[in-house]
Chain A
Amino acid sequence: MADETYLSDDLLRQLMSVGEVDLLVGILSHSSANTMRAAARSIENSLQQNFVRQRVAIISVDGGAVEDAASEDSVDPQTEGIAFSKGITSLRTIHRITAGFNSAPSAGLALRTILASSDLLRAKACAVVSPATSSTSPDWIANLLRPAFRDSFDFVAPMYSRHKFQGLLARNLLYPMTRALFGRRIRELYSDEWGFSNRLGAYCLTQDVWHEEPIRTRPEAWMGISAMTGPDFRCCQVFLGEKPQPPAGSGPDIVEALRQTVGSLFWCLETHQSVWLGRNGSEPVATIGPDHAVSAEPMDLDRARMFEMFQSGVKQLEPILHTILSSETHTNIQTVATLDQQTFRFGTDLWVKILYDFASAYHHSVINRDHLVQALVPLYRGKIYSFLMEHSDSSPGDMEAEGENLCLEFERQKPYLIEKWKAGVEVKS
């Protein structure tokens, strides 16, 4: 049962008046009322079309916009069309719940509130969406809920159609590393929308992690990793459609994104080490829809500046990198940093070794952990520069093959990480 200290009396009253539901959709609201309304409308349309006989509720965590969504005069013609195209609407009332906080809650607190509400409402399946994703469509919600509700999956990860130079952190670091270490091939763990069963929700709710910083900022990957490592949870991934490019300046920049995601991943390595240290290889998970989709429109990127920042970072952060990396890896990265833009290539073996050195250094707290993750940023820029140069003319198939090679390299070098992980701290002068 949920710890109720963070659930306000008002929220508890609302939950009690709703009673029990079959499905719950949580909105992690950090956006304007307009995007909230659009998301709420999509959710309602989806629930009306796809879950006609189920008892459903929508919970918005920090805003009051959900209540007004249905009564808005201005109706989005796109969702309006979808809503009535099938001529069937829900036979039941859609309950709308608002969990208000005095100040904007952290992502962790928002998710915890949704999990606790789901637990109290005894929802069989739950989906979490972010109104920041402007293209949340009714199909997305249904696709996230259905596997958990009808097919007994415990964790439903999304998959998107992306531009080939979008989501490079997931492609080059988060996915291959998570796959190699936790042994499940889930592509998108750091996403704004995902689904889960009541069993997984209740399991996560009882974990004593909610005060931890990585959970406060990015709880979604931890939930996915808990599903991969927890007791007999079934995972799947479902294709949602095109992931739109967020407006410039709206998402986190590279430094913030790495601090949140890589910091969270390294932290999960600590907390789930008893599981991943004993796992070998990786297994595919059930995939609903196409496995992947990549588009290739031209993209305006400042490659030269990226390379310059990589070179400058390797030079300026030399003492810090010396502390984190093994001597051999450090020498190798210093050598490749001297190459010119045309000949520079960041080899996959070096990249994997760097990440494993960083993960091990994080585990041994060689330096302050937040500083350690920040020190990875210039090296990531170098890797991305190399990726952009190598794949400027690559087809989606070539890129997929290359991505698979990277994943296999992570799996191949896993013993190196395990060895460093278990070894004591090397004190360098």
Chain B
Amino acid sequence: MKDTIVQGLEQAYYNLVHMIAEFLPRFVVMLVIILVGLLVAYVIRYILRALLRLTRLDRVSEDAGASRVLRMAALPSMTELLSRSIFWITWIGFILVGVSILGVAGLQEQISRLFRFLPEIFIAMLILFLGLILANFLSRAALLASVNAGQRSPKLLSWSIRFVIWMLAISMALEELGLARQTVIAAFSIVFGASMLGLAIAFGLGGQDLARRALERHLGDSEKEKYKEPQPL
């Protein structure tokens, strides 16, 4: 009995040592690959950035109107965006190669699934990018309109619009990725519905006077509340 236990423990110890002895070199190789990847990615970014600056890509992008779209989305210049993207793509590629060296069967399967998953990821990123642009554009339009109309809490309105569009874009992106599809739809419906209901109740009950004044302003005599400023032209 005692011998069997000792033998079992020895076997376990032997297996562990064997596993560690087998795993450690791979792990070190993985770390080396990741570090080399980081270095390579940095070098590529540096060279690419210099090349793009040399070719005056930003000027071309400015002329083509692409820079305007990027600025609307609060993104950096085209040169910076491309060099950063290439940096991350390169480094992530090295990381995945490094991880595959570990030889973990489940992990390898996941990595190959990830590669098969890339088109959906790309579309999801595109949806998020467009959502970001739309959210920035509309929230800024709302902010300007409400500030110029002298309304109270213009930032609240602006942020509400931005929040709703972000939520919509994130839900669509997650839906595209097929991640927890039912949960995402349900969560979106609940959050969006609750927000709208909350706003309606707050406006209708909490802000009865405000609602009345707003309706009067839009449906009734608009001159009553208009403040007097000199004719510009």
- Residues of chain A at the chain B interface (Cβ within 8 Å): 165-170, 190, 245-246, 248-249, 251-252, 254-255, 257-258, 261, 299-302, 305-306, 308-309, 312-313, 316-317, 320, 323, 364-368, 371, 374-375, 377-378, 381, 384, 388, 424-425, 427
In whole angstroms, what is the CA distance A249 to B228 when docked?
A: 10
Residue B106, interface by CB 8 Å: no
The interface residues of chain B lying within 8 Å CB-to-CB of A312 are: 147, 150
The interface residues of chain B lying within 8 Å CB-to-CB of A254 are: 148, 229, 232
Could you list 15 A-B pairs, sorted by A, with CB under 8 Å? A167-B232, A168-B230, A168-B232, A246-B231, A249-B222, A257-B233, A305-B150, A305-B227, A364-B62, A365-B71, A374-B148, A377-B144, A424-B58, A424-B59, A427-B77
Which single residue of chain A is at the shortest CB-CB distance from B141?
A: A371
B143 contacts A166, C-beta separation under 8 Å: no
The interface residues of chain B lying within 8 Å CB-to-CB of A305 are: 150, 227, 229
- Knowing A248-B223, A249-B223, A317-B143 are in contact, say whether A190-B233 is a contact too (CB < 8 A): yes
Q: Digit string of B139-161 for contact with A (CB within 8 Å is 1, else 0)?
A: 01101110111100011000000
- Residues of chain B at the chain A interface (Cβ within 8 Å): 58-59, 62, 65, 67-68, 71-72, 76-77, 137, 140-141, 143-145, 147-150, 154-155, 222-223, 226-233
- Knowing A365-B68, A366-B71 are in contact, say whether A255-B148 is a contact too (CB < 8 A): yes
Tell which of A167, A248, A299, A306 touches B233, judged by Cβ atoms closer than 8 Å.
Answer: A167
Which single residue of chain A is at the shortest CB-CB distance from B152?
A: A312
A375 contacts B232, C-beta separation under 8 Å: no
B137 contacts A251, C-beta separation under 8 Å: no
Tell which of B137, B141, B223, B230 touches A384, judged by Cβ atoms closer than 8 Å.
Answer: B230
Which single residue of chain A is at the shortest CB-CB distance from B65?
A: A365
Tell which of B68, B147, B155 touches A313, judged by Cβ atoms closer than 8 Å.
Answer: B147
- Knowing A305-B150, A313-B147, A374-B144 are in contact, say whether A257-B232 is a contact too (CB < 8 A): yes
- Knowing A251-B233, A261-B233 are in contact, say whether A427-B76 is a contact too (CB < 8 A): yes
The interface residues of chain A lying within 8 Å CB-to-CB of B149 are: 255
Which single residue of chain B is at the shortest CB-CB distance from A249?
A: B223
B147 contacts A166, C-beta separation under 8 Å: no
The interface residues of chain B lying within 8 Å CB-to-CB of A257 are: 232-233
B231 contacts A167, C-beta separation under 8 Å: yes
The interface residues of chain B lying within 8 Å CB-to-CB of A190 are: 233
- Knowing A365-B67, A367-B72 are in contact, say whether A320-B232 is a contact too (CB < 8 A): no
In whole angstroms, what is the CA distance A313 to B149 when docked?
A: 10
The interface residues of chain B lying within 8 Å CB-to-CB of A424 are: 58-59
In whole angstroms, what is the CA distance A307 to B144 when docked?
A: 17
In whole angstroms, what is the CA distance A425 to B147 when docked?
A: 27
Which single residue of chain B is at the shortest CB-CB distance from A254?
A: B232
- Knowing A316-B147, A378-B147, A424-B58 are in contact, say whether A165-B223 is a contact too (CB < 8 A): no
The interface residues of chain B lying within 8 Å CB-to-CB of A368 are: 68, 72, 137, 140
Q: How far apart are A425's CB and chain B's nearest CB, in angstroms?
A: 7
B232 contacts A169, C-beta separation under 8 Å: yes
Q: How far apart are B225's CB and chain A's nearest CB, in angstroms?
A: 11
The interface residues of chain A lying within 8 Å CB-to-CB of B62 are: 364-365, 425
B233 contacts A375, C-beta separation under 8 Å: no
Tell which of A166, A258, A301, A366 touches B228, judged by Cβ atoms closer than 8 Å.
Answer: A301
B229 contacts A306, C-beta separation under 8 Å: yes
Chain A to chain B: the 7 pairs with minimum beta-carbon distance, closest first: A169-B232, A257-B232, A302-B227, A374-B144, A365-B68, A305-B227, A377-B148
Q: How far apart are A240's CB and chain B's nearest CB, in angstroms?
A: 15
In whole angstroms, what is the CA distance A312 to B59 when docked?
A: 36
The interface residues of chain A lying within 8 Å CB-to-CB of B232 are: 167-169, 251-252, 254, 257-258, 261
The interface residues of chain A lying within 8 Å CB-to-CB of B223 are: 248-249
Q: How far apart are B75's CB and chain A's nearest CB, in angstroms?
A: 10
The interface residues of chain A lying within 8 Å CB-to-CB of B71 are: 323, 365-367, 427
